[in-house]
Every structure is written in C-alpha cells, then in structure tokens.
Chain A
C-alpha cells in the first residue's frame, strides 16, 4: 500500500498547479489579442480547472480528503502547493504564451508517466488528460514558432519571455524532501528529476525550430518554494478573488 501522505502531497501539487494556472488563463477571456486566442485560453482554462477537479475528487473519494469545492476555495494560502510559475500575473501576451508552452509540456510528460503508475486513479485519469493536452501543446508550439519568426520585435520579446520564465518553469519540478523517495520506490511516478529531463527533451526541438536560444540550463537556479507553501505576493490576491463568491455562502447549493 502506497504511503497515503506521499500520494496526497503529490496530488495536491498537481491539482493546485492546474487550478491556479486555470484561473490565470481564464483572465484572458475577453482580452485575447485576437478572438481565436481569447477562445483558446478560455478553453484551456476550462480544461485545467476540469483536471484540477478530477484530482481533488480523487483526493476526496480515494484518500478520504475534503469535498473538492471546499478544498479548492477554503484553504489558507500556506496550504497551497502550486509552483510560482503558475501564480505569476499574466503580464503581456509573450509571457503568458511562454508560460503556457513550458507548463503544458511539463504537464504532458507528467501525465504520460502516470500511465504506468501503481496508483490506479492516476492510470485512468492520465489517458484522458493526455489526449486533451495534445491540443494544448499543438497550440503552444504553433504560436511559439509563429511569433519567434514574425519579425525582430516579436523575436526579441519571445526570447526575453523565455529567459524570464525558464527558472520559474524549472521550479515545477521541485521534489519533496519528505516524500520523493517513497513515491519513486512505490512506482507511483518516476520522480521529478526524470520528468525534468523528459521535459527538456520535449521543449528543446520546438525552441530550435523557433530559433530561440535555450538559456544555459546548468546555470539557472530553479525557483523553488511553492511546493512547500511559500508563495509570491501574487497568490493571495488571486485566492481572495477566486473564492469571493464561494465564500459568500459556503453552504449554498448550486
């Protein structure tokens, strides 16, 4: 039997990333640079919040956790385990697009690896999520390539967005000091170091096609802390806004 605490920790990290980035993506609704991009970010927001919901439900149904809605909207900031990458404000479209590219490839390698997980709910969920993520990475790759080859200003901005995001994105793969070895030994997943390597192998060919220069990966310091409950100044305002309606009446039935 897999260690209950270790599994719970992993699920919360994955789900919180999805929930928070889902909300960030939804902030593009009505504001996208062109209509199709407005729709794309809104659709991906919906997918991500759906994936978060599925994970919170697994926590609730298989591991005795709280009701998914209450868990999503009533926790204090410190209890959230999302990576700093996901909580950053949207900024300009270049940053949002680069974050989407880096995160969705990270999510894809993670779910692909879960197809062989010893934890059955992961195996069932991963098949569904992996298929849907193909559309996210197709979208991300297409725009990374188009904008990086669209002229000088565009290229400079995409390169700057990559330079700015890479350490934040590497922070998604922050291993748990307490649970990592257990999760690997129990074959729940292959571990963050393996996923990190697979992620680099996945993003590199796209960056080459886009003529973007990959920052020296050995020289960057991944932005850790989110997995341990240490967050940026941007998370609390987002949580307050996200939970505003729910917290007006937490017993309401929808």
Chain B
C-alpha cells in the first residue's frame, strides 16, 4: 500500500478539473461533486458526480477527466460514478464561481428561491456593462445550460448560465 492520501488532497486535485465548455470553472466551482471517499485498504478513491443538465453531452468526457487528473496527481486508482440521488441545481454554483463566470463574459444564474419562475430571467444584468436594460432573446443558447440575452445599453448579445431549480 502506498502513502496515505487525504480527502483534502483529492479536493485539491479536483480544483484543476475544468468544465470543457466553460474553462474558467472547475467541477467543484459548478457543484458537480457530491461525494469523495477513500478506501485505504484497497488503495482506491471513489468520487461521485452529477451532470448539470440531464442530456449534457460532456458528462462522460468530464467523468474521464476527473479520473485521469486525480489518478495522475495522487498516483492512486480512481472510480467516478454518477450520483443518482443528488439533483443538480444552479444554486450549487459557488458565489466565487459566479464572479468568475461574469468575468468570462457569461451572466451568472440568479439565485433560485423556491419554485423557479420564468420571470427570474427577465432581469439579467449584462456581464459587460452591468446594465439591467436587457431582454431575454431565447431561453436556448450555444449549449443546454445557456440562454441568449440582448443588452439595450451596450448593444451586445450575451449569454447567461441559466438558473435551474
């Protein structure tokens, strides 16, 4: 058996596993990791994760990225399973990650309180000029998790990471 690996070390390694569609956010920033456990006797790390949207085409790609990155950094076998018990919602995105999203040019999702209402998307501040003089152009964008808005102040089309309950 090799050296003892801590849970904290696994989380640290996970910080470098980025979302392929939003390369400034890690799987931890997005709240995609639901559990990490270490089987010290068998020398295996078990990681559980959840997809953001059910039909997200990047899931198996991310799953594999997690496995290879953590295996390489910690030199231990890793299994990555989809957690069916936990449900992803946009409130799982950390506040720091929302700031990173905005700086990347994507408006972060609003905080969802209780039942998600469509009106929540009607006032989405522009990530470029911060104006609230914007409108929802389409709830569907370049990926399943994004919507398209238009800013009447700066005249730019911008994308938003959609709120999801």
A interface with B by C-beta (< 8 Å) = 36-37, 39-40, 42-44, 46-47, 49-51, 53-54, 121, 124-125, 127-129, 131-132, 134-135, 138-139
Contacts and interface: CB of A to CB of B under 8 A. Distances in A.
Contacts of A124: 84-85, 87
Contacts of B142: 39
Contacts, number: 64
B85 A47 contact: no
Contacts of A42: 140
A127 B87 contact: yes
Interface range for B: 20 to 34
B105 to A, nearest CB: 18
A36 B87 contact: no
A221 B116 CA distance: 36
B57 interface: yes
Contact of A53 (B55, B87, B162): B55
A132 B140 contact: no
B137 A36 contact: yes
A132 B125 CA distance: 22
Contacts of A125: 54
A128 B54 contact: yes
A247 B115 CA distance: 43
A40 B140 contact: yes
Nearest to B57: A46
B141 A39 contact: yes
Given A36-B137, A39-B142, A50-B55, A138 B85 contact: no
13 contacts: A36-B137, A40-B140, A49-B55, A50-B53, A53-B55, A54-B54, A125-B54, A128-B87, A128-B88, A131-B165, A132-B54, A134-B165, A139-B138
Contact of A135 (B56, B57, B137, B162): B162
B144 A43 contact: yes
Query: A-side binding surface: helix, strand, loop or mixed?
Result: helix
Interface of B: 53-57, 84-85, 87-89, 116, 118, 137-142, 144, 147-148, 162, 164-165
Given A43-B144, A46-B144, A47-B54, A132 B137 contact: no
Contacts of B137: 36
Given A49-B55, A134-B118, 10 more contacts: A36-B137, A43-B140, A46-B57, A127-B87, A129-B54, A131-B116, A132-B54, A132-B144, A132-B164, A134-B116
Given A43-B140, A138-B118, A131 B164 contact: yes
A15 to B, nearest CB: 13
Nearest to B165: A131
Nearest to B139: A135
B108 to A, nearest CB: 17
A47 B53 CA distance: 8
A144 B85 CA distance: 36
